[in-house]
């Protein structure tokens, strides 16, 4: 874990020669059993992970990946820093936050090029709550406080002239509990993802105010691209386990490639039935709504990096004057050499 250079041994020669992951094909991964953290696995935000698991892409790469599902992205990040998981699928912004704190955490695959987060108001309050400018004093349901669903809402509030602390953010989880919180009136606004949003829309419970499932909706809120879910880990893990890291990235790139041609029905048949929230046709519709959001090449663009950094500077006083080298937040070597 103390080795600080990636290009070592035969791997160095292979990478330098451009052989990429093929050079590792005959090498055993340093860790064949990997523990992965995620915050809300059933959400379509993390669909590439479920596809890699269910279609056997991890096993094809000779890996046994144990997936630990936490209540939200912030909790899976905590697990990585605490050492209880090796790698994480989580929001790109987490890498910037950690770099600012001196923790060398790096994304190595972009999974979502748009946040795919929808902010909606309880329908019977839509006449009074028409935009983020009206969120002051409200109860807003998010997957977990500190997660990307909360961050996106806070950003919308700041753009509308409010403070990030002007509303109460309540963790409602990632599945049926989130639907129930809105239907029971426990929250006024929800910031969430499909299939939760699709379920609430179908039942007529919400009115959508902001929708970042599409490029147009993302640009409307952020003014440009805004990378979302990524696959990230500590640099120490990358340095000590280059073969394992490449194999993991290979699996995720297979997922992204599969999703580019998959039909929504294929996705619904692949995921566990409980992900459908009791309504498979609705889940299929939710997948259709979200397919545009997945990364096409696995690479976080410089424009996207700057967009997220600008957002964080507006929301977090600790980051307002932070000097973060954004090139350290994403390592593209493995994506570029992925064997798909």
What integer pLDDT is reported at residue 295 of this predicted model?
96
Q: Classify strands 87-91 and 33-39 as parallel, antiparallel or unpaired.
A: parallel
User: Global pTM?
Assistant: 0.84
180 and 96 within one domain: no
Segment 114-172, tens digit of pLDDT: 999 999 999 999 999 999 999 999 999 999 888 889 999 999 999 999 999 999 999 99
Helices (H) and strands (E) in the chain, counts: 15, 10
168 and 128 within one domain: yes
| Domain housing 170 | 118-211
253 and 171 within one domain: no
> What is residue 71's DSSP assignment?
S
Segment 260-283, tens digit of pLDDT: 999 999 999 999 999 998 999 999
- Domain total of the chain: 2
What integer pLDDT is reported at residue 71 of this predicted model?
74
Would 3 be classed as within a structural domain?
no
133 and 102 within one domain: no
- The single residue listed with the structure tokens 């798909």 is 340
Would 220 be classed as within a structural domain?
no
180 and 192 within one domain: yes
Would 89 be classed as within a structural domain?
yes
107 and 236 within one domain: yes
177 and 164 within one domain: yes
- The single residue listed with the structure tokens 């639907």 is 179
CATH code, domain carrying 110 = 3.40.190.10
What integer pLDDT is reported at residue 7 of this predicted model?
36
Measured in whole angstroms, how far is the alpha carbon of residue 278 from the centre of its chain? 24
Comparing CA positions, the residue from 101, 129, 117, 108 lying closest to residue 312 is: 101
18 and 76 within one domain: yes
Q: What is the DSSP string of 249-291?
A: HHHHHHHHHHHHH--HHHHHHHS-GGGGTT-HHHHHHHHHHHG
Cβ-based neighbour number of residue 94 at 10 Å: 25
Segment 39-69, tens digit of pLDDT: 989 999 999 999 999 999 999 999 999 999 9
Would 4 be classed as within a structural domain?
no
């Amino acid at each position: 874990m103390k080795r600080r250079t990636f290009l070592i041994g035969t791997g160095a020669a292979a990478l330098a020669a451009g052989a990429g992951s093929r050079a590792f094909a005959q090498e055993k991964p340093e860790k064949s059993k990997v523990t992965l953290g995620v915050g809300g696995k059933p959400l379509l935000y993390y669909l590439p992970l479920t596809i890699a698991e269910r279609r056997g892409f991890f096993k094809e790469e000779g890996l046994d990946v144990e997936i630990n599902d936490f209540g939200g992205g912030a909790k899976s990040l905590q697990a990585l820093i605490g050492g209880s998981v090796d790698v994480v699928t989580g929001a790109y912004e987490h890498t910037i936050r950690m770099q600012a704190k001196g923790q060398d955490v790096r994304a190595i695959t972009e999974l979502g090029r748009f946040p795919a987060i929808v902010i909606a108001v309880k329908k019977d309050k839509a006449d009074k709550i028409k935009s983020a400018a009206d969120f002051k004093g409200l109860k807003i349901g998010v997957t977990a406080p500190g997660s990307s669903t909360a961050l996106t809402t806070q950003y919308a509030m700041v753009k509308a002239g409010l403070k990030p602390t002007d509303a109460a953010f309540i963790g409602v989880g990632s599945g049926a509990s989130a639907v129930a919180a809105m239907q029971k009136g426990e929250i006024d606004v929800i910031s969430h993802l499909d299939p939760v949003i699709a379920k609430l829309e179908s039942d007529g419970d919400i009115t959508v105010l902001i929708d970042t499932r599409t490029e147009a909706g993302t640009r409307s809120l952020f003014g440009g691209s805004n990378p979302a879910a990524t696959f990230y880990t500590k640099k120490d893990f990358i340095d000590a386990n280059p073969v394992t890291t490449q194999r993991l990235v290979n699996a995720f790139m297979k997922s992204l490639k599969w999703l580019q041609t998959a039909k929504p029905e294929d996705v619904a048949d692949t995921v566990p039935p409980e992900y459908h929230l009791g309504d498979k046709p609705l889940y299929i519709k939710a997948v259709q709504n979200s397919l545009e959001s997945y990364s096409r090449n696995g690479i976080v663009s410089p424009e996207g990096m700057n967009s997220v950094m600008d957002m964080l500077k507006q929301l977090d006083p600790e980051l307002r004057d932070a000097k973060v080298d954004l090139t350290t937040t994403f390592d593209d070597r493995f994506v570029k050499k992925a064997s798909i």
